[in-house]
Amino acid sequence: MLSTEKIIEIADQHSTPLYILDKEALENRINEIKAILGEGVTLCYAMKANPFFVDAFKHLNTKYEVCSPGEFAICEREKVNMKDIVLSGVNKEKADICHVLNDCGGVGVYTVESKEQYSLLSECAREAEVTIDVLLRVTSGNQFGLDEEDIKDIVKNREKYPELNIRGVQCYTGTQKKKFDIIKSEIEWLDGLCDSLYADYGFKAEELEYGPGLPVSYFGDAAYDNKYDMLKELAALLENYKAKYSITLEMGRYLVAECGIYVTGIADIKKNKGQQYVIVDGGINHVNYYGQAMAMKIPAYSYVKADGTIVKDRNVMSRLNGTDDEKWTICGSLCTVADLIVKNLPIGTPECNDKIIFYNIGAYSITEGIYLFLSRKMPVITACNKDGSVEVYRDVICSDRINSRQNLLS
């Protein structure tokens, strides 16, 4: 994990607001997760969590879940091995599938979200004169995936679609699951479905792809040490299924959340009706923590003075000492009362140009933030390599150029 000093060095070089992706932390985390899961389990990175990490995953021996033509285009530009891609998404269009098949040589596997998609994939494969591997996505009761009866019908009539090789089933039911019993019951349910498909139609599922939705702690003391307790329970459970299936675990947040950092600088300080406010040069358009309601919860953070003095350091155990520190409500630069990042954050006596570092920002914040609101500049995105060198992944983008008529641009 990057030291606070290194983070400030990067922020001083590139200014704030700023994202820093920690590639060494990512590699360490993936290796630790793989070691816990053991042989027979493949990781699939749900790249929607942070597409800027796509290149960093290329040497980590994982798959990529790709859910849109735009995400696929990113993989093309990053020269991702097409065989590592699981082409997913509820809306697949013929032109996009034909591009994948005819121009890119196809991908590793395609998910099937509906009977209509099944027919469409068959049509595209037949026209390209190829056979493709597919996974049947099982719905958990929402708009995603196939009803179990539809899956049974597809499997029953699979010989009518020789262009499609059904590898098995896929299922994702949601993120941030707090109870392992939910994950256990879902895996048992999927295994039972596969057993029934074999008993009724002689179809043996070779692959089971599952999104466990393991939780990431964002607030309080737990945010400083995201442990692997539930992953270890999952690893023990999967031992019972490794001989039966080729297992793929699809995860996004759990893989990358800890590997991203956000730095913002103090632009103004004020007290209104007894409440102390700090205005920073970032805001809720850049920071998005799952489960953060009305900024009432405190995420992992460090506080650094303009001269480099570290007041609060997430890297040392004394990080939360000093309960008498003055507490300030941290607000962003958007003209909306909703732009509250954290209420009553203990930072002492703030001054302009001080910096606040927010951790566990590697998943979703970069893409889910309401970037275009108020036409403010979009932050620089950097990545720190294992050798300490820093790359600029995206420089400053002025969103006013996006938020105006094209014929007015110059």
CB of 346 closer than 8 Å to CB of 326: yes
CB of 375 closer than 8 Å to CB of 403: yes
Q: In degrees rounded to 5, what are phi and psi of residue 136? A: -90, 115
CB of 54 closer than 8 Å to CB of 21: no
pLDDT at 403: 86
Instruction: Write the CA distances from 179 to 37, 183, 239, 389, integer angstroms.
Output: 19, 7, 19, 40
CB of 79 closer than 8 Å to CB of 285: no
| Measured distance CA(84)–CA(44) in Å, rounded | 9
pLDDT at 112: 98
301-304/355-358 β-pairing: antiparallel
| Measured distance CA(196)–CA(90) in Å, rounded | 25
Tell me which residue of 108, 184, 117, 185 sits closest to 145, measured CA to CA: 117
| Measured distance CA(313)–CA(5) in Å, rounded | 10
> Where do we find the tokens 């506080």?
303
pLDDT profile of the chain (410 residues), mean per 10: 95 96 98 97 97 97 97 97 97 97 98 98 98 97 95 98 98 94 98 98 98 94 89 98 98 97 98 95 90 80 95 68 73 93 92 97 89 88 96 92 70
pLDDT at 321: 46
Q: In degrees rounded to 5, what are phi and psi of residue 353? A: 80, 0
Residue 153 neighbours by CB distance under 10 Å: 15
Q: What is the 3-state secondary structure (H, E, C) of the chain?
A: CCCHHHHHHHHHHHCCCEEEEEHHHHHHHHHHHHHHHCCCEEEEEEHHHCHHHHHHHCCCCCEEEECCHHHHHHHHHCCCCHHHEEECCCCCCHHHHHHHHHHHCCCCEEEECCHHHHHHHHHHHHHHCCCEEEEEEECCCCCCCECHHHHHHHHHCHHHCCCEEEEEEEEECCCCCCCHHHHHHHHHHHHHHHHHHHHHHCCCCCEEEEECCCCCCCECHHHHCCCCHHHHHHHHHHCCCCCCCEEEEEECHHHHHHHEEEEEEEEEEEEECCEEEEEECCCCCCCCCCCCCCCCCCECEEEECCCCCEEECCCCHHHHCCCCCCEEEEECCCCCCCCEEEEEEECCCCCCCCEEEECCCCCCHHHHCCCCHHHCEECEEEEECCCCCEEEEECCEEHHHCCCCHHHCC
Residue 313 neighbours by CB distance under 10 Å: 17
| Measured distance CA(215)–CA(222) in Å, rounded | 11
For helices 180-201 and 229-238, the axis angle rounded to 10 degrees is 20
Residue 389 neighbours by CB distance under 10 Å: 8
Residues composing the chain: 410
| Measured distance CA(62)–CA(30) in Å, rounded | 9
Adjacent-strand bridge partners of 43: 249
